[in-house]
Structure 1
Amino acid sequence: MRVTPAMVRDERDWVQNRASVVVPLINTVREALGEQFSVTVSPVTEDAYSEAVTAVFADGDLAVNVAGLVAILRDLDCEGDYPGFVVDELLGRELAAMIAGNQPLHLLGQATFHYADVHTHTAGVAGADDLDAALAAGFQTRLPGWPWTEGESPFSVID
């Protein structure tokens, strides 16, 4: 694989065009987690997803790494699947974390990846469903809508 600015642009376009698959998965995950934690979580629109994809890929240092992981997962397959299970899970978890942002969102993106992965079955190579789960987990974590992300943290110390 050769990573170039053109390749990063192509992967951005692919991620943008995946909205019709990723956004419903985001909303499925948000609804299920909201029920689990007894909170109402705002759904995500395709426009909000698109804006978040644009923001991720506007940060060149982040974009090159996200594009690399997207490209690997789009092509990753393993005979018999299970021997490659750890690789696609590892890459998916890291992709979700990168997209989600800094701590604590980074960790929440990783945790949510596994939850999204259980709800995802994408035809194709072994990495395909992990890619969709990673995009859903990362962007759902990054985007607003969770009550605890609205407003200032009660733990902020300002003198």
Structure 2
Amino acid sequence: MRLTPATVAAERDRLRERAPAVVPLLNDTRTALGELFDTEVDAVTDEQYRREVDRVFTDGDRAVNVAALAGLLRDLDVEGDYPGFVVDELLGRQLASTIAGGQPLALLAEATFHFADTRVDGAADSDTAGADDLDAALAAGFQTRLPGWSWREGDSPFAVEPTASDDL
């Protein structure tokens, strides 16, 4: 794999084009998690997903890592599949985390990746072992970073104001 600004831009375009596959999985994951946590979560449109892909790729450091992880997952195949189970899970988890951003969203995206991965069907003979993990990682990472969760609306009640003597 060779990464250049041009290959990173091409990867961004490929991820944008995945909207018809990723957005339904993303919304299915949100609905299922909302039911589990007894909350309503806003659905995401294809256009919201594509705009957020663009935002992720405006950060060059994040973009090169997302492009590399996505490319590895897309091409990853292991004879018999099962021996490669751990590596595709590892790459998928890292991709979801990288897309989501810093903590605590990164950890939530990693956990959500495993949940989304159970909801994806990578049974097509033409799919590589990592193809379903790629879609699950995209769904998990973007559903985590996009708005729609009520607990993420507004300021955290745990923020502590500095005292007058603190020098910020």
TM-score, length basis structure 1: 0.99
CA distance in 1, matches of 2:149, 2:78: 37
SS at match of 1:157: coil
| TM-align CA RMSD | 0.6
TM-score, length basis structure 2: 0.93
Structure with the higher fraction of residues in helix conformation: 1
One-letter amino acid of the structure 2 residue matched with residue 94 of structure 1: Q
Q: What is the Cα deviation at residue 90 of structure 1?
A: 0.1
**Equivalent runs, 1:82-97 vs 2, <5 Å:** 82-97=82-97
CA distance in 2, matches of 1:48, 1:66: 18
One-letter amino acid of the structure 2 residue matched with residue 87 of structure 1: V
**How many pairs were matched up?**
159
CA distance in 1, matches of 2:45, 2:150: 17
SS at match of 1:126: coil
1:38-95 deviation line (CA, Å, top 9, x unaligned) = 0000000111101110000010000000000011101000000010000000000000
**Equivalent runs, 1:1-159 vs 2, <5 Å:** 1-122=1-122, 123=124, 124-159=127-162
Structure 2: 5+ residue stretches without partners: 163-168
CA distance in 2, matches of 1:75, 1:51: 25
Q: What is the Cα deviation at residue 144 of structure 1?
A: 0.4
1:135-159 deviation line (CA, Å, top 9, x unaligned) = 0000000000001000010001113
One-letter amino acid of the structure 1 residue matched with residue 147 of structure 2: P
Runs of 4 or more off by more than 3 Å in structure 1?
A: none
1:16-47 deviation line (CA, Å, top 9, x unaligned) = 00000000001000000000000000000111
SS at match of 1:58: coil
CA distance in 2, matches of 1:73, 1:14: 13
CA distance in 2, matches of 1:87, 1:8: 22
One-letter amino acid of the structure 2 residue matched with residue 43 of structure 1: A
Identity of aligned residues (%): 65
Q: What is the Cα deviation at residue 125 of structure 1?
A: 0.3
